[in-house]
Amino acid sequence: MALLRLENVVSNYGSINALKGISCEVNQGEIVTLIGANGAGKTTTMHTITGLKELNGGKIFFEDQDISRWESQKRVKAGIVLSPEGRQVFPDFTVYDNLMMGGYLQKADTNAATLKTVYALFPRLEERASQVAGTLSGGEQQMLAVARALMGKPKLMLLDEPSMGLAPLIVKEIFNLIQRIRDLGTTVLLVEQNARAALKISDRAYVLETGKIVLSGSAQDLLNSEEVQQAYLGM
C-alpha cells in the first residue's frame, strides 16, 4: 500500500500551469526523490501535498484517505510534515522554542521524548538550545528545520532542498541524517537539485520537467540512465 499517492495533480498560479497532471506514489519506509530543474514544479508539488497550495485538479491520498481538500493543520496531524525550502525557522525564537513549535500538535510528554531522539541526531542543536534561531549559521538553521519537522512525529517527511546553499561537508552530513531518519521509521520524500547525492540515498525517484513527470524508476536505474546523466548529473 502506498503511503502517499498523487493522482493527476494539477496546480496553477493564475493562468500559469505549474503542475500539469502529476501522478506518483511514496511507499512506507522509502526514500523517494523528486529531481528537476528550477521551475519544474518541485516546490509546488510539496506545497500541494502539505496544503499550502490549493489543488486545481486531481487527488491526493494519504494512507488511502482522500486528503485533497484538507486544511494544512489536519495534514500535519495525520503525519505529513514539511521542512520547507529556505529553512524558514522562526528567527526570533530560540532553538528550543522552534523545536517546541514543531511539536505544536503533540502532547507535552510526547515532545519531551521526541526531543531526546532529536537531540541525539543533532547534538549541536542541544548545545545551542537557548540561542536565537536567527543567529545560527545556514547549516545549523537547516539542521533545525529538519529537527523541527521531526518534532511533529511525521509518518511522511517532506524535505524541500535541504542541501541548498550549504558547504559540501554539511551537505554530506545532511544526507547521512536523512538516511538515519528513514532508518528510524520515517518515510521520506525529498526534493533536490543535488541529484547525484539525493539519488545515492534514495530507493526510487521521479524526474519532473515543466510540471510533468518525464521519467521514473529506481534510483539506481536513474543514476545510470543517459538522459538523467546528461540533464541532471552533468556528465
Partner 1 sequence: MLFEQILNGLTIGSTYALVAIGFTMVFGVLELVNFANGSIYMLGGYLTLMVYTTMQGHFILAFILGVVMTGVVGFCLDRFALRRLREKKAPKLTGLITTMGFATVIDNVILLFFGSQTKPYPNLIDFGQFQVGGTTVNTSQIVILAVALLLMGVLSYVTYKTKLGKAMRCTAQNADAARLMGVNVNMVISVTFIISSALAAIAGTLVGMYYQTIDINMGFTIGMKTMASAVLGGVGVLPGAMVGGLLVGLFETLGASYISAGYRDAVAFIILIIIILVKPAGLFGKKKINKV
- Taking the C-alpha atoms of residue 58 and residue 61, their distance in angstroms, rounded to an integer, is 10
User: Which listed residue (34, 82, 159, 222) binds partner 1 by CB under 8 A?
Assistant: 82
Least distance from C-beta 104 to partner 1, angstroms?
A: 5
User: Which listed residue (93, 121, 129, 170) binds partner 1 by CB under 8 A?
Assistant: 93
Q: Does 77 bind partner 1 (CB under 8 A)?
A: yes
Q: What pairing do the DSSP bridges indicate for beta strands 187-192 and 156-160?
A: parallel
Specify the amino acid at residue 1. M
- Taking the C-alpha atoms of residue 95 and residue 42, their distance in angstroms, rounded to an integer, is 28
Query: What b/e string do you get for 120-140 counting C-beta neighbours within 10 Å, with b at 16 or more?
Result: ebbebbbebeeeebeebeebb
Q: Does 200 bind partner 1 (CB under 8 A)?
A: no
User: Which listed residue (97, 203, 209, 221) binds partner 1 by CB under 8 A?
Assistant: 97
The gap from C-alpha 17 to its chain's centroid, in whole angstroms, comes to: 22
User: Which listed residue (24, 81, 144, 215) binds partner 1 by CB under 8 A?
Assistant: 81
Which of 93, 119 has the CB closer to partner 1? 93
Strands (E), the chain: 2-13, 16-27, 31-36, 57-62, 65-66, 80-83, 156-160, 187-192, 204-209, 212-218
User: Which listed residue (65, 69, 92, 116) binds partner 1 by CB under 8 A?
Assistant: 92
The set of cell numbers assigned to 122 is 543533532
- Taking the C-alpha atoms of residue 21 and residue 17, their distance in angstroms, rounded to an integer, is 10
Which of 51, 139 has the CB closer to partner 1? 51
User: Which listed residue (28, 65, 73, 230) binds partner 1 by CB under 8 A?
Assistant: 73
CA distances to 11, 50, 67, 68, 136 from 74, rounded to whole Å, are: 20, 9, 9, 11, 30
- By CB under 8 A, the residues from 50 to 69 that bind partner 1 are 50-52
Which of 82, 205 has the CB closer to partner 1? 82
User: Which listed residue (2, 37, 105, 129) binds partner 1 by CB under 8 A?
Assistant: 105
Part in contact with partner 1 (CB under 8 A); list of ranges 70-78, 183-191, 204-212, 224-232? 70-78
Q: Does 101 bind partner 1 (CB under 8 A)?
A: yes
* Chain residues that interact with partner 1, rule: CB under 8 A: 50-52, 71-73, 76-77, 81-82, 84, 88-93, 97, 100-102, 104-105, 148-149, 152
